[in-house]
Amino acid sequence: MSAVSDTIVSNIRAASRHLVRGLGFLDKTIAGTDLSASSVHAILEIGLTPGLTARELGERLKLEKSTVSRMLKGLDKRGALIVKAVESDGRSQALHLSNEGHLLFSEIDAFGDDQVRRALSVLDDPSPVAVAEALTAYSEALMPKTTEQLMATDNTIVEGYQTGMIGDIAALHARTHGPIIGMGPTFESVVSAAMAEFMTRIENTTNNSWSLLDGSKVIGSISIDGEDLKGNIAHLRWFILSEKLRGRGWGRVLLHKALNHCDHHGFDEIHLWTLKGLDAARTLYEKNGFELADEYAGDQWGKAVTEQKFVRKRP
């Protein structure tokens, strides 16, 4: 990527601020409606893609689950939505627009079209085509990579047991958590033994593991043990990424694989145990519905540390 001058960066940021103001996103309501910006975007997304689930809508709008829930309750209260059970998964609900919702969609769509046409009508240079192409490229560059785009890289996600994964994953855990729990063989040995036991039953229906490979080496992984906790509770285990993968969205991709597996099999809860101080992991857990359920001192790893238990209840 070529270097970009400070002036260009400053100009683009100024234009972005003006764009936000010009489109009305700083107003309490937008697009000629009495709705918030998030509700307007929800109407548009559901209208353009009927059958979206609440989770899919939240991912598109980059909103937390609780925010999406409150927003959808408001739209449902005004009669804008029709909620149907997903045929392939009775636990999920598909979102559709009602007649009232379609009227709102038409009004918002017409308002947006008018905004664009009025702005483009005063342009001589650059051309409307150039504006459309530049805005499309810029908006795509701003967005985090989708799961599909991530999967198109040289790394590959695979399911189930992989040759060498017990050693690879145990080593990743030891190197990552060693500074917290202390270096030495105890932690790595415990991880290896537990994984070795799990891998003998990984083919059982409710169990699975997802790994990122670099060639044949496992450099990131997550597992769901659907048997050891009983009571229709899934156990999320051995969630780890190598240093070079962190901050690039791979943790989110792996976690969603595990959560989708649990929801598909109808687990009432998912439990996980982790160490206090792993703030990035905690943020990811909480964004995906996990809540801190317990915190206590433990020494099973050879050194006294503060352990945390997180629980996610089925949506």
CATH of the domain at 40: 1.10.10.10
**Percentage of the chain modeled with pLDDT above 70:** 90
Give the Cα separation of 217 and 156 in Å (integer). 11
Give tens-digit pLDDT for 200-222: 999 999 999 999 988 888 999 99
3-state secondary structure of 261: helix
Distances (CA, A) of 279 to 282, 297, 304: 5, 18, 19
Tell whether 262 is covered by a domain.
yes
C-alpha dihedral (29, 34, 35, 41), degrees to nearest 10: -80
Query: Same domain for 291 and 166?
Result: yes
Query: Same domain for 118 and 57?
Result: yes
- List, in sequence order, every residue forming a beta bridge with 158; answer none if it has no partner: 211
Tell whether 291 is covered by a domain.
yes
Tell whether 1 is covered by a domain.
no
* Cβ-contact 47, 80 below 8 angstroms: no
Query: How large is the average pLDDT for residues 109-116?
Result: 88
The total number of structural domains that make up the chain: 2
- Whether residue 83 has pLDDT greater than 80: yes
Query: Same domain for 88 and 215?
Result: no
Distances (CA, A) of 91 to 30, 286, 314: 33, 21, 9
Tell whether 134 is covered by a domain.
yes
pLDDT band at 147 (very low <50, low <70, confident <90, very high): very low
Query: Same domain for 168 and 68?
Result: no
Query: Same domain for 113 and 203?
Result: no
* Cβ-contact 255, 234 below 8 angstroms: no
Helix axes 54-61, 65-77, angle to 10 degrees: 110
Query: Same domain for 228 and 187?
Result: yes
Query: Same domain for 30 and 161?
Result: no
Domain boundary among 81, 111, 141: 141
Give the Cα separation of 109 and 115 in Å (integer). 10
The residue behind tokens 């709705």 is 35
Q: How many CA atoms lie within 13 A of 65 on its CB side?
A: 13
Query: Same domain for 177 and 78?
Result: no
Q: Which one has a higher pLDDT value, 82 or 20?
A: 82
* Cβ-contact 303, 283 below 8 angstroms: no
Exposure string of 112-123, with b = 16+ CB inside 10 Å and e = fewer, is beeeeeeeeeee
Residue 245 carries which DSSP code? G
The CATH number linked to 286 is 3.40.630.30
- Give residue 302's pLDDT: 62
Query: Same domain for 216 and 239?
Result: yes
* Cα-to-chain-centroid distance, residue 217: 25
- Whether residue 135 has pLDDT greater than 60: yes
Query: Same domain for 158 and 191?
Result: yes
- Give residue 269's pLDDT: 96
**Percentage of the chain modeled with pLDDT above 90:** 37
The residue behind tokens 């030495």 is 184
pLDDT band at 29 (very low <50, low <70, confident <90, very high): confident
Domain boundary among 141, 172, 191: 141
* Cβ-contact 93, 52 below 8 angstroms: no
Tell whether 288 is covered by a domain.
yes
Q: Where are the alpha helices (DSSP H) in the chain?
A: 6-22, 37-48, 54-61, 65-77, 99-121, 128-142, 147-151, 165-181, 185-199, 250-264, 279-287
Nearest C-alpha neighbor of 196 from the set 221, 228, 162, 166: 166
Domain boundary among 141, 168, 187: 141
Q: Which one has a higher pLDDT value, 137 or 111?
A: 111
Tell whether 146 is covered by a domain.
no
Query: Same domain for 228 and 157?
Result: yes
Tell whether 246 is covered by a domain.
yes
Mean pLDDT score across all residues of the chain: 84
Query: Same domain for 113 and 242?
Result: no
- Whether residue 156 has pLDDT greater than 50: yes
Tokens of 26: 């700083």
Residues whose CB is less than 8 angstroms from the CB of residue 83 and which lie 6 or more positions away in sequence, other chains included: 76, 93, 94, 95, 96
- List, in sequence order, every residue forming a beta bridge with 255; answer none if it has no partner: none
pTM over 0.75: no
Give tens-digit pLDDT for 235-253: 999 999 988 777 777 888 8
- List, in sequence order, every residue forming a beta bridge with 159; answer none if it has no partner: 210
Tell whether 299 is covered by a domain.
yes
Count other Cβ atoms within 10 Å, centred on residue 34: 9
Range of the domain at 132: 6-141
